[in-house]
Chain A
């Protein structure tokens, strides 16, 4: 037990990496082992994340020195409340999606030879994300970022006929993003001579005025903006999410963009500090306005879509905008909103994409225009969960989505940014337009055929994660004060405002 206790910061990564490699090997013995291995390791990481969060909250930041070398020479893994919290979100969603994956993988990935690689790559992606969030070293972060991104490209390309095109587009843009990050890091490194986050933070005040530092910061922000699909750097997102298999979309959409947001939050508010990024150089102001534009753009584009997954993809652009807006506000309330929305949006988007996956699995399509009353009769639970997710996206209290908007609105008021406030509120209405369009069809459109459709609900493995997420949305909404006070409050106090 003490062994787990001592090594818990590194264990998720340490366990996920070999599992990703072992999955194909074990699958040679028995193909079903692939899924069970992935589930087992994913569940373990969830447990470890809970442990880490408890540790980080009660004992303060945990530092883990890889290889026993203390920083700045060695690479350290740091779990402060922010990273522990984001890790818990990522791993929980990852586990739920993997539970859901079985039938979708069978159905949407036609060649059965790709099923085992799917699990391997998914676990590798989770490993990458765990590494990104847990590491306290900027270059290590880059390596994990590329591991995660490469897995993402694979997960997307595994999908429909057009998926590889979407994947290559994502690959090119994603690599540009990573290169920008690396370049920006190069500038910071030449100015400070260190790659360790804490070390860099200590040295920065001395060189903060240098143009090289400013350029470096700008490049990192652009690079991460690409990774998190911040408007107008979102070009890769819609096709990727649409053509990827539903289970991949459900894995990528809630987690993938959040990691970019995490890195931005980390760099802006924990390394540079709010004063620097909002006053010395108005980075956050730019992010805020871009995010506001992105919210409107994403919402409006979502209204124009006829395919459910594509609609959700555009909605993701808008939702990422919320996080960007919270970052752009550069005040504690905005940060609360942003971090809370990282969690809430992860849960909401996972739920919606999984529900879309259920539609595809049962109905064979996810065209909004072909959904009707029979959908509800055939799959009452999935549709009910979808409705909960949609209402949460719109921001109906007491569901989770309302509260991230609430804190963002408070942040906007505190900053007297009336335009941002208006954008947050307007986007609620736009969300309502495109989600009620779907709800209306599912619940109130008369079925084409009057014959009573048999109840053909998705199988248990697909239904349980969806229902768990739906319940979570209610729970996270009602109990958000506990999370905000207990966890996010600590994150905010450790940020540099």
Chain B
């Protein structure tokens, strides 16, 4: 059973990057200082999140209860296992992305870098806020801030295409936000509480089945857009016009994972497994997730643009996590939560690779990538690692999470999910390995002076690739991801709703 203790660390973890924003803006004319602030904030944030880890592993949950946002609803932050898990992933990868950002932005000589770094910092604050939100209103608050803060990043290039993508992004996410607000208002008004409780709190209220079902649909639509569950995924491939680090951190980790994390919060901490099973809500979620996994994998084949292919792959993998939440088995949920981290390291590796290729050779299309493996061996080596991982082949971490998902599907007595996972693994291999083959085993027409990308680009992607491998071999290494995920899953299934 978890016990809470008051602590300011969650609040600090959220606000440290927010505090960096004015500093970044003020030092806009001195790029080195500006990037120093970003890196400092990233390190501080990661350190703060890490400081929460020992406590949460012993079952003690740090909690920062601030003033009331509305009568009866506080702005409250709680570092429970699931939250710490997500915060660790997001803040840890922010450090790497920051380093990568510097190489990428300077390599391309992008304009408006100050705005870019500032918006990035706000996004990270909002993401950690989403992770630590202790109730639905706080969650909504950070969720909406995340939406708005990502918008400048999506249309950073300021081309017509980028502006159109930005509009599409806003239409999708703001609509979702509005539905989420509606769901929250409905919950507050009917159930009278909004605090996340492991195992859910709606079961303890006397809501009619119809209301609960309506609520579930609203919530699912609300968080489903960021989690890009089909048919709500349309914005994600379009948003790939953003600079690659944005796609890497936000569209593989922070933003989309906030959506999936929202699904976990809603299913595990609002509705609870028992209520879900009683009303058959899990079948709805599982159905959508399963369809998304399959369709996204198939659609990925069509895309020649590397980043768009990665985007479809992301859509599919996000639904792994949603599926994990829908199976209502401890192992499946643990697997889903694990996949949240493991997919992040893998996918960020792939995006970093795509970005490095773009900076170095200005190539975006897969069909033009013949032979680049010979020029950029480190980059494409890391790419291969990521591809193997996403296909779920041992010894990479993608296998571990998939293994637990598979276990969970058997635990829940739903073998179809296992079949689906295997099939999806094959499809993943099907759309990633040709790229690897092209890169290494074909001769392309590349400029003679082409060489490996700059260290600021290559080191982060090697680190993430190494992380993927390390976590595959020892899932509990470094950050106790495995224990955190199991603790979170156990709390949901051991909670009052089970």
Contacts and interface: CB of A to CB of B under 8 A. Distances in A.
B190 A397 contact: no
A425 B182 contact: yes
B57 interface: no
B166 interface: yes
A413 B190 contact: yes
A444 B158 contact: yes
Interface in B161-189: 162-163, 166-167, 170-171, 174-175, 178-179, 181-182, 185-186, 188-189
B452 interface: no
A485 interface: yes
Given A429-B174, A429-B175, A481-B69, A397 B144 contact: yes
* Interface band, chain A: 35 or more
Nearest to B73: A481
A413 B170 contact: no
Nearest to A426: B178
B188 A440 contact: no
Contacts of A373: 158
A379 to B, nearest CB: 16
Contacts of A440: 155, 163, 166-167
B219 to A, nearest CB: 14
A405 B185 CA distance: 10
Contacts of B190: 413
Interface residues of B, number: 32
A345 to B, nearest CB: 18
Given A429-B174, A480-B70, A481-B69, A391 B185 contact: no
A409 B162 CA distance: 34
B185 A406 contact: yes
A151 interface: no
Contact of A413 (B171, B178, B189): B189
Contacts of B144: 396-397, 402
A96 B418 CA distance: 65
Contacts of B140: 397
B178 A425 contact: yes
B152 A403 contact: no
Contacts of B71: 481, 484-485, 489
A444 B189 contact: no
Interface in B9-55: none
A206 to B, nearest CB: 37
A208 interface: no
A428 B174 contact: yes
Contacts of B375: none
B238 to A, nearest CB: 16
A436 interface: yes
B102 interface: no
A279 interface: no
Contact of B145 (A397, A428, A444, A479): A397
Contacts of B69: 398, 478, 480-481
B478 interface: no
Contacts of B174: 394, 428-429, 432
Scoring B67, B147, B171, B178 by chain A CB atoms within 10 A of each residue's CB, the highest score goes to B178
Contacts of A202: none
Interface string B134-159: 00000011001101100010010010
Contacts of B163: 440, 444
A403 B67 CA distance: 15
B68 interface: yes
Interface string A195-227: 000000000000000000000000000000000
A241 to B, nearest CB: 26
A446 interface: yes
Contacts of B182: 409, 421, 425
Nearest to A427: B178
Given A397-B145, A410-B189, A432-B170, 11 more contacts: A406-B181, A429-B175, A432-B174, A436-B167, A440-B163, A444-B152, A444-B158, A479-B67, A481-B69, A482-B67, A484-B70
14 contacts: A407-B70, A409-B181, A409-B182, A425-B178, A425-B181, A432-B170, A432-B174, A444-B155, A444-B162, A445-B158, A478-B69, A480-B69, A484-B71, A485-B68
Interface of B: 67-71, 73, 140-141, 144-145, 147-148, 152, 155, 158, 162-163, 166-167, 170-171, 174-175, 178-179, 181-182, 185-186, 188-190
